Amino acid sequence: MEKTQYSVPNISCGHCVMAIKRELSELEGVSAVKGDATLKSVVVEWEAPATDEKIKNTLKKINYPATD
């Protein structure tokens, strides 16, 4: 299982975190999503068939792109 932290500058409130959790949790292989609006970050626990690329693409699609 992988655990990756993403920096997401567009997070501004708890509602943003909830939207991200809802979308990422729908990806097959994602087992946990934790977000922090203060730190503007999201930690995702995942395994195949989820991939880093799929997670980043989903974040971008919902207007919360992760920065490198």
Helix axes 52-61, 14-25, angle to 10 degrees: 130
- Whole-model pTM: value is 0.94
* CATH number of the domain residue 39 falls in: 3.30.70.100
Residue 49 C-alpha from the chain's centroid: 16
Find the mean pLDDT for residues 62-66.
97
**Cβ neighbours around 35 below 10 Å, total:** 22
Q: Is residue 61 part of a domain?
A: no
Q: Is residue 65 part of a domain?
A: no
> Residue 68 has what pLDDT?
73
Q: Is residue 55 part of a domain?
A: no
**Domain encompassing residue 22:** 2-50
- E strand or H helix that includes residue 59: helix 52-61
What pLDDT, in 10s, does the model give residues 2-53?
Answer: 999 999 999 999 999 999 999 999 999 999 999 999 999 999 999 999 999 9
> Residue 63 has what pLDDT?
97
